[in-house]
A and B are shown apart, each in its own frame.
Chain A
Amino acid sequence: MVPPSGHTAWLTTFTAGAMTFLCVFALALSLASGRLASRWSDALARTATIRLSAPPDQVQLQTDAILALLATTPGIASARALSEDESRKLLEPWFGPDLPLEALPIPRLIEVVEGDPGYDGEGLRHRLAAEAPGAVLDDHTRWRRPLAEAAGRLRLLGWLAIALIGATMSAMITLAANASLAANAQVIRVLRLIGAKDSYIARAFVRRFTLRALSGAAAGALAGLIGVALLPRADAAGGFLTGLGFTGLGWLWPFVLPPLAAVVAFVATRRAAFAKLKELP
């Protein structure tokens, strides 16, 4: 019904493809941030550290006392004192592998794993103060909160980017649809003259733009998936960027984008078409 040629054809397809490509990465960022936030929160929330600073001859004695105390504290799944090797490994990134641990006043660290339900932090602090005055309970709250907040904001930024990409695509498709409607004013006039309803004319344009957006978005999503798949894998030495990507069922999320782009195109074109048709006699 509507002439098939025109620059709006490739413009719509290209816009949908490019936006969906970017959207795949924004989606990967959001999902990775979400995973990171959960991982940090979970890992840090379930564990606590007791730091014991005491005279050398008192260290083992107080360590035993603390372990005995923890063993009788409700809500604690397990507790163990870190060995010197483990302490050395923790400090290795800052001081190097040849750290003379025995020559330094390094506090003894005791790792506490929380049970379900958890323990009473304030109560444990009081008991520790009584049994081992040099022990300090660190439940990681002051680390966990900013990390979780940062990851949460990163995730929010990712979703915001997706929303902006969707809005931009909608605006571009609206412009393209308006240009197409203006270029086909003659076609519209003929159709109206022979008794075509606005809904019929709009449908001809909506169908075309929706299919263009769908095909462009499918190509963009495929390219985005390949791009994400080619990113370096997450490993122990890697930072956040190497963890950017999808895991498990997360790989299915990009397949939602083409239908979503088609819906955006459908709504944008339909609104543009009816607005334009109302301007015509």
Chain B
Amino acid sequence: MIAFENVAYNYGGGELLSEVSLRLAPGSFHFLTGPSGAGKTTFLKLAYAELLPTSGHVTVFDREVRSLSRDDIARTRRRIGVVHQDVQFLDHLPLAANVQLPLMVSGKAGDTRDLADLLGWVGLDHLSDALPPSLSGGERQRAALARAIIMGPDVILADEPTGNVDWEMSLRLLALLVELNRMGKTILVATHDLNLIRQAKAQVATRVLRISKRRIQLAGADL
């Protein structure tokens, strides 16, 4: 699905990631941990081609990202659902329209029943007409998850999806991600919440990656 081969990324002020090699197998569930500023968000941005590596190769769906045109990148992103830490919506559009956006931009007709089912699945069916600024942090995260999966992506990348929500809501979001993984989706969650990782490991087979000293290592024994 997504592979990193000796990837390095330099922000200009020094190397943030170095010699990163990794392969996300189809249907796998990975956590990515590390201290703030370690490069978790950068790693995710490299994975969905918002950033290009300084050196090395990032391959997404068997294509090297440097060889992708701007249109190819757009098409690739339709196969990757992304949930950001700072969830961004089009604030002038109601929630339902925001969730449907990926369908609209790819020219696909959305089925209103499917949309209602999806909003019901994330527990937001009663808020379909609400504008994003009126939503709570947890509601925004769940809406972002709904938007990320409405195209039926092969991969879901989530950047601190539980960063702004309480524990109960974190568990609810985790349950949704686990359910998606059981449907066959490849999941990568960047988080520093070790309790969330422990909770996930109790439900599904996961691998934990840790960014330390610019490199990615396998963690797990200490969790």
Identify the A interface with B (CB < 8 A). 1, 3-4, 186-187, 189-200, 278, 281
Is the Cβ of B51 less than 8 Å from the Cβ of A281? yes
Contact with A along B98-113 (1 / 0, CB 8 A): 0001101110000000
A67 vs chain B, min Cβ distance (A): 83
Is the Cβ of A195 less than 8 Å from the Cβ of B90? no
Further 12 A-B residue pairs, CB within 8 A, beyond A194-B101, A194-B105: A187-B90, A190-B90, A190-B101, A193-B77, A193-B82, A193-B88, A195-B74, A195-B102, A195-B151, A199-B71, A281-B50, A281-B51
Is the Cβ of B106 less than 8 Å from the Cβ of A195? yes
- The interface residues of chain A lying within 8 Å CB-to-CB of B151 are 195
- The interface residues of chain B lying within 8 Å CB-to-CB of A278 are 70
Nearest to A277 among chain B residues (CB) is B70
- The interface residues of chain B lying within 8 Å CB-to-CB of A192 are 74, 77
A197 and B82 in contact, given A1-B90, A190-B89, A191-B101 (Cβ under 8 angstroms)? no
B75 close to chain A: CB less than 8 A: yes
- The interface residues of chain A lying within 8 Å CB-to-CB of B102 are 194-195
CB-contacts of B77-92 with A (<8 A):
77-78, 82, 84, 88-92
CA distance A189 to B89 in the complex (A): 10
Is the Cβ of B78 less than 8 Å from the Cβ of A198? no
- The interface residues of chain B lying within 8 Å CB-to-CB of A199 are 71
Is the Cβ of A195 less than 8 Å from the Cβ of B77? yes
Q: Which of A191, A193, A200 has the most CB of B within 10 A?
A: A193
CA distance A278 to B71 in the complex (A): 12
B132 vs chain A, min Cβ distance (A): 10
- Chain B: number of interface residues, binned into ranges: 20 to 34
CA distance A132 to B5 in the complex (A): 106
B30 close to chain A: CB less than 8 A: no
- The interface residues of chain A lying within 8 Å CB-to-CB of B147 are 194
Contact partner of B88 (CB less than 8 A), chosen from A3, A190, A197, is A190
17 A–B pairs (Cβ distance < 8 Å), ordered by A: A190-B89, A190-B101, A191-B101, A193-B84, A194-B102, A194-B105, A195-B74, A195-B75, A195-B76, A195-B102, A197-B71, A197-B74, A198-B70, A198-B74, A200-B105, A278-B70, A281-B50
CA distance A233 to B103 in the complex (A): 60
Contact with A along B157-171 (1 / 0, CB 8 A): 000000000000000
Is the Cβ of A196 less than 8 Å from the Cβ of B105? yes
Nearest to B106 among chain A residues (CB) is A195
CA distance A196 to B106 in the complex (A): 7
Contact with A along B57-83 (1 / 0, CB 8 A): 000000000000011001111100010
- The interface residues of chain A lying within 8 Å CB-to-CB of B76 are 195
CA distance A189 to B50 in the complex (A): 10
- The interface residues of chain B lying within 8 Å CB-to-CB of A195 are 74-78, 102, 105-106, 151
Nearest to A189 among chain B residues (CB) is B88
